[in-house]
Structure 1
Amino acid sequence: MHDEIVGALYEEASRIASRAVWQEGAERKLRWDQWLDKVLTSRIWGFPAMALLFGAVFWVTITGANVPSSLLGDLLMGTVYGWLHQGANALHAPEWLSGFLIDGVYLAMAWVVSVMLPPMAIFFPVFTLLEDLGYLPRVAFNLDRAFKGAGAHGKQALSMMMGFGCNAAGVVSTRIIDSPRERLIAILTNNFSICNGRWPTLILMATIFVAATMPPAFASAVAAATVVGIAALGVIFTLLTSKLLSKTLLKGESSVFTLELPPYRPPRVLQTLYTSLIDRTLLVLWRAVVMAAPAGAVIWLISNVSVAGNSIAHWMVSGLEPLGVWVGLNGVILVAYIVAIPANEIIIPTILMLTLNLAKSSLASQGVMLELEESDIKGVLTGLGGWTALTGINLMLFSLLHNPCSTTLLTIFKETGSKKWTLISALLPLVIGFAVCFLTASVARLLGWA
């Protein structure tokens, strides 16, 4: 028995040595995982490989979510919406009550569910599978130098990537960062990762204002490249803002951490699906739905309650129009972002509703968020709303840089326990967003493009 144990030990030691030790002059044979690491962590190929992989993840998320989002939308905003109104009529409910509850509260929640659930149900499992596979630590390895140069932690790359699914989940994922200072930097800058609630706005604007200027054969590619460019711009703003914070409010040295690259391993699919769908997707979705309900109520109220002969929405848009035009947006956009702060998913429906209502269009229904075809949307925005290409481009920039949604703000407060940092997390991107939009509009006007 003793001889067998010793023999097994020597055999295992020999096997490990043959894999780990290379003798000079001998032909060096790399294992498949070593070859893979030479590519994925290479200074030359690491970043292109990372861009291609995450580009594929985003493409799968956006494309794969289209059909289920459409089906959910038809079910919740078509069938169920009709049933609710039929039930309200059968109960002889007052028109204002059914409007408030169904056209306001319910419709906002339905929009959030139909837009958020499918992409999150795809993105979070795929992201977790990459984590299980062992790739995400290699992403942190690749981006460590960039974040260290910005005075932040290399692990911020992982929370930033998680933010592309949902910023609230991205904020929670900053728990992997041990340094309180660097964790705060990661929390305050996670908003620059485009969450799934903002993708529809970006895709729509890129399609009708940028891609429409190109030949039809290249339109889809141009729209996709535009959205990817905005996402890349978000990464740049993450690094720049991290650097700014590390030199001002959150001064300090970047902490040193040892990153051990784990071996590649088969992902635990069933466990991943459970963790992603239950612990992440449904939790974040529930928070968003809870936040969307009051937003829907407010949207209905400002559209239906009149003061001095005009709706509250009319007065809000009129009051904010000068500021909106000054920064290359308009009053409708600013009002939409104010009342729809609980959920980015309802920005476009709110903009369309306000535009149609203020123009007294026959398509309008007071306080009811509606869905139009892409060609009709462009006609409404440019014809009734007076939008230009500058408005569409600045909306994409503002969508990237504006304040976090209320779900994310609530998460930030829970994670930091600080009203101060929650307020800063709301105001910092908002100031940057207005500044960037103003500069863009100023340059466009100076060059005669607007």
Structure 2
Amino acid sequence: MGLTHRSTGSRTLGRHAPRRTDPGQKVIALAGNPNVGKSTVFNALTGMNQHTGNWPGKTVTSAEGVCSCGGRQYRLVDLPGTYSLMAHSAEEEVARNFLCFSAPDAVCVVCDATCLERNLNLVLQTLEITPRTVVCVNLMDEARRLHIRIDLAALQRQLGVPVAGCSARRKGSAAKIAALWEQVMEPEAALTPAVVRYPDAVEAALRPLCAALRRLDCRGLSPRWLALRLLEQDGSLLEELDRYLGAGFRRDAGLFLAMQQAEKTLAEAAISPETLKDLIVTALMQTAEAIAAAVVTNEGKHYSAADRRLDRILTSRRTGYPIMLALLAFIFWLTLSGANLPSQLLADGLFGLQDRLSTLLLHAGAPLWLHDALVLGIYRVAAWVVSVMLPPMAIFFPLFTLLEDIGYLPRVAYNLDKPLKRCGACGKQALTICMGFGCNAAGVVGCRIIDSPRERLLAILTNNFVPCNGRFPTLVNLILIFFVGTAGGAGRSVLSALMLTGIILLGILATFGVTKLLSRTLLRGVPSSFTLELPPFRRPQVGQVLLRSVFDRTLFVLGRAVTAAAPAGLLLWLMANLTVDGCSLLSLCAAFLDPFARLMGLDGVILIAFILGLPANEIVIPIILMAYLSQGTLQDPTSLAAMRELFLANGWTPVTALCTMLFSLMHWPCATTLITIKKETGSRKWTALAAVLPTLCGMAACMLVNAVGRLFL
């Protein structure tokens, strides 16, 4: 019972052989720090719609694309964003293993022109692995705006490899990078990459070890880099080396003697493996600092003052949380108020098509039962899901992506890092919580950005406590009917958004509480630390935001939901139309569940609606209406006033509405999310626990509210 390599992304690229569709096709690895525009460069060169954003480690598994330049095709592999190749995280291990063991023909390291010094650390580490490296200095337009000048010619002399500047967001700017790849791949290329000089004792230890390694077949690995890694005694890397070079490689007599001599030299200088790592990091940073000082001129000393003032407001204890809540309420208000008309128009169109399908089937002589099963069962449920899900997602996901694009989401993660740490979780979970508002399945997939398997599992198990947009119709309708009123007006939508925000805050608090409980019981452990970069605020690319959010998120999630909802439509139609002693199976099941449901402040119809709504939460309210009206097909609520009268006639009270909202907030995940959890964890037991946990919490909350309601109402 645990996480798979597929879900962690660990070692995925290290054992990944790039697919060369043409024997002459060259493979280029694209590396870089997070937030340097690496995936934007990748998209610009390949034309692929690869997701880009301001979150560290966005590309957890491999992404490949083909780029054509000068009549030659190159296969680009977009590596995970990483600050180092020292393998302190899954992203670093994936990137390092690919560069070392997958034999790319060249490496392109993308740097951020606005903070070149920090990026040079990765460049220097890459040069230690391979001299066939091209440095792409991206975001040159931002650097000019901030009055930062970079002497690219001097940088090329310092590094000893080709360097080019670009602004990947501008069309055609990244194309000149491809022209440099051929230079470094030429056999006669005179490359003299910069060499990082370490303290004298370390250099003395390296000399005999490098000499011994040059006599062996290192399969293309740099002897100097390999010697450093052997001296560091990194267990995970030594395992990879044994797999790549053979188990007997390290048992070579000459290498063994050289290793003993090197270890003796370090011991005489009182340098342990841990101390050696510190010395290596220090030397890399000092070299990067010296190179940056020689090539970068910052004429705008106070260029970041505005960003820093804004950061102090957005990440302050006093103002950070209120701003988050205000933004959350605003997004929900915009989603709710903006989705009403498109949902109605879409429903009219799809249900109008239903009439044409009915006519077509009946004219074709289809049996009545087949017509009803296909049209009133499968099609009607699928049409309902599309009309209810698509407009809110088409508004919510672009807004979410917009916040991501301008750089606000890392600030949210920073604000929530401390409370999540207190619960034994990771601050990166904040992003998966935000993604869960759009779709819990997307939130579960987003948990891949969390390095620790324990913390990733915590995030997966608790993601369903955040309501997705599939549960919004139930929550919003009940808020309007029982707590806000059915009259129109702008105030109604604002009050609805505020109440919905309150319900969602309850879900977030439940997430924290259950996370803390799990971290002290089943998933004990110490919260891991991680590097969280607060990227500069950037002007969003609205066109790309719309395309990315619609195709990468909205349509992907919608497709999964329809796939799960269509079979449910058939089951629902069968239960509503098959009878025993004059009662439908739906009514019999509702009557059977009614005594237990009453303990929770619900009734049997409400509970069976949630059970049958497993494929898609959007159909819960229509199932309730269908059961109350004793109809054989899914019912569309004609108006909120009519729904209110129907609910009151069937014994609903404000307590019933509140309990229904609580159970909608906390119950089992939908079928799409459960399938995703199974794929991500590779375990049926964890999937079952992900369903049981929110259900138990929802039942307990409903029983408590029902008991209190009976006392005071």
Q: TM-score w.r.t. structure 1 length?
A: 0.90
**Equivalent residues of 1:61, 1:123 under 8 A apart:** yes
Contact between 1:88 and 1:98, CA under 8 Å: does it hold in 2? yes
- Distance in 2 (CA, whole Å) between partners of 1:231 and 1:161 is 11
Partner of 1:46: 320
Cα distance per residue 1:57-113 (max 9 Å; x no partner)? 222122221111111011112x11111111122112211111111101001000110
Distance 1:281 1:220 in 2: 24
What is the CA deviation profile of residues 253-290 of structure 1, one whole-angstrom value per residue up to 9, with x for unaligned ones? 11111212111112233333232211211111111001
The alignment status of 1:15 with 2:299, answered yes or no, reads yes
Cα deviation digits, residues 133-173 of structure 1 (max 9, x gap)? 11100100000001001111101011001100111111111
Give the aligned residue type for 2:307.
D
Deviates more, 1:414-423 or 1:267-276: 267-276
In structure 2, relative to structure 1, the CA distance for the partners of 1:176 and 1:378 (3 Å cut) is: same
Structure 2 CA distance, aligned partners of 1:270 and 1:97?
44
Superposed displacement of residue 32, structure 1: 1.4
> Out of 46, 56, 59, which is 2:330 matched to?
56
Counterpart among 631, 637, 642 of residue 371 in structure 1:
637
Paired residue for 1:123, among 392, 396, 404?
Answer: 396
In structure 1, distance between residues paired with 2:691 and 2:442: 17
Q: Which amino acid is 1:334 matched to?
A: L
Which SS does the other structure have where 1:43 is aligned? coil
| Matching residue of 1:248 | 521
Q: CA deviation at 1:249?
A: 1.1
Give, in whole Å, the separation in 1 of the partners of 2:674 and 2:344: 28
2:329–2:498: 8 Å Cα contact kept in structure 1? no
Give 1:35 deviation, angstroms: 1.3
Task: Kindly provide the amino acid, as one letter, of the partner of residue 632 in structure 2.
Answer: Q
Structure 1 residue 344: Cα displacement: 0.5
Amino acid at match of 2:305: R
Give, in angstroms, the shift of residue 53 of structure 1: 1.5
Match for residue 361 of structure 2 among 80, 88, 107: 88
1:380 to 634, 643, 646: 646
Paired letter, 2:522: L
Structure 2: gaps spanning 5 or more residues: 1-150, 156-291
Contact kept in structure 1, 2:486 and 2:641, CA below 8 Å: no
The offset of 1:193, in angstroms, is 1.1
C-alpha separation in 1, matches of 2:612 and 2:486: 32
- Secondary structure of 2:524's counterpart equals coil
- Decide which of 399, 402, 405 is 2:670's aligned counterpart: 405
CA contact 2:333–2:493 (8 Å) conserved in 1: no
Tell which deviates more after alignment, 194-203 or 117-126: 117-126
Aligned residues: 426
> Which whole-Å CA distance do the structure 1 matches of 2:488 and 2:404 have between them?
40
Q: Deviations over 1:153-211 (max 9, x none)?
A: 10101100110011111111111101111011111111111111111111111111112
Q: How does 1:162-311 map to 2 (within 5 A)?
A: 162-212=435-485, 219-311=492-584
1:344 to 599, 614, 617: 617
Instruction: Call closer, same or farther: CA 1:10–1:422 in 2, change over 3 Å.
Output: closer
2:710 corresponds to 1:445: yes
Deviations 1:394-428 (A, max 9, x none): 11101000111001111111111111111100111
The answer (yes or no) to whether the contact 1:337–1:347 under 8 Å persists in 2 is: yes
In the alignment, is the contact (CA less than 8 A) between 1:327 and 1:434 conserved in 2? yes
| In structure 2, distance between residues paired with 1:263 and 1:278 | 26
Distance 1:80 1:333 in 2: 30
Alignment match, 1:76: 350
Question: Is residue 414 of structure 1 aligned with residue 658 of structure 2?
Answer: no
**Separation in 2, partners of 1:222, 1:19:** 42
- Measured in 2, the distance between the counterparts of 1:151 and 1:66 equals 40
Within the candidate set 433, 436, 450, 2:701 is matched to 436
Alpha-carbon deviations, 1:341-385, whole Å to 9, x = none?
10001111111001110xxxxxxx3133333211000111111x2
2: CA distance, partners of 1:59 / 1:215: 15
- Amino acid of the structure 1 residue aligned with 2:483: V
Secondary structure of 2:485's counterpart equals helix
Q: List gaps (5 residues or longer) in structure 1.
A: 21-29, 358-364
Q: 1:218 to 1:274 in 2, by over 3 A?
A: closer
| Greater Cα offset, 368-377 or 144-153 | 368-377
CA RMSD of aligned residues (A): 2.2
Q: Whose helix fraction is larger, Structure 1's or Structure 2's? A: 1
Q: 1:132 touches 1:265 (CA, 8 Å); kept in 2?
A: yes
Pair 1:108–1:45, CA change in 2 (3 A)? same
SS of the residue 2:602 aligns to: coil
Secondary structure class of the residue paired with 1:19: coil
Q: 1:213 to 1:65 in 2, by over 3 A?
A: closer
Instruction: Name the counterpart of 2:408.
Output: 135
Give SS of 1:92's match: coil
Structure having the higher strand fraction is 2
**Are 2:594 and 2:604, in contact at CA under 8 Å, matched by a contact in 1?**
yes
Mapped to 2, the partners of 1:386 and 1:322 lie a distance apart of 14
Distance change >3 Å, CA 368–CA 265, structure 1 → 2: closer
Q: Show CA shifts across 1:300-334 (max 9, x none).
A: 10110012331111110110010111110010011
C-alpha contact (below 8 Å) 1:159/1:173 kept by paired residues = yes
1:401 and 1:171 mapped to 2: Cα distance? 16
Structure 1 counterpart of 2:302, one-letter code: R
1:343, 1:261 → 2: CA distance? 36
86-95 or 420-429: bigger deviation: 86-95
- State the one-letter code of the partner of 1:136: L
Q: When the two structures are superposed, what TM-score results if normalisation uses the length of structure 2?
A: 0.58
Q: Distance in 1 between matches of 2:655 and 2:486?
A: 13
Identity %: 51
Alignment partners' CA distance in 1, 2:490 and 2:390: 31
